[in-house]
Amino acid sequence: MSLKRAFNPVVDANTRLLILGSLPGDASLKASQYYGHPQNGFWRLVEGAIGIDLAALPYPLRLTTLKAAGVGLWDVIASAERTGSLDGAIRNAEAADLNQLVDSLPSLRAVAFNGGAAARLGRRRLAARPGIDLVDLPSSSPAYTRPFADKAAAWALLGRYAGRR
């Protein structure tokens, strides 16, 4: 098993919506990009929710565009041992300091969890946060085989936090 680490958070003082995954998978780590697996639906799901084309943009511009829309990214796990990319293979996880990050975001209105593992771990740490909605989402991972249209319907609710109604 190899030790894998999360990327730095993508946030600024205008972040209204923070989307938390569990821990980057192998394709993302290799590409040094959030949601770097070509079949991960994350970018298409977010663009549908916020009404901004992201998937066609070069990665650095995706991040800039997300931040401009008030959307931030991070993971609930700072580091862990894991063979492969499945959340079920995570061992010896070190939690990310979610409370410190949330405290640094004065405009934050919601935290959304990308998948069950992120929700289980993140909700435990952020449960007592008045004024911040916690939203569970179906995983954008291709390993979670729910139809894309079903995922998109659930993710569409994020638009209200990023300024889209």
- Residues annotated catalytic, as ranges: 40
Question: Is there a contact between 152 and 48 (Cβ–Cβ < 8 Å)?
Answer: yes
Q: How far apart are CA 110 and CA 28, in angstroms?
A: 25
Q: Of the candidates 30, 36, 35, 41, which has an alpha carbon nearest to the alpha carbon of residue 4?
A: 30
**Size of the chain, expressed as the number of residues it contains:** 165
Q: How far apart are CA 111 and CA 72, in angstroms?
A: 9
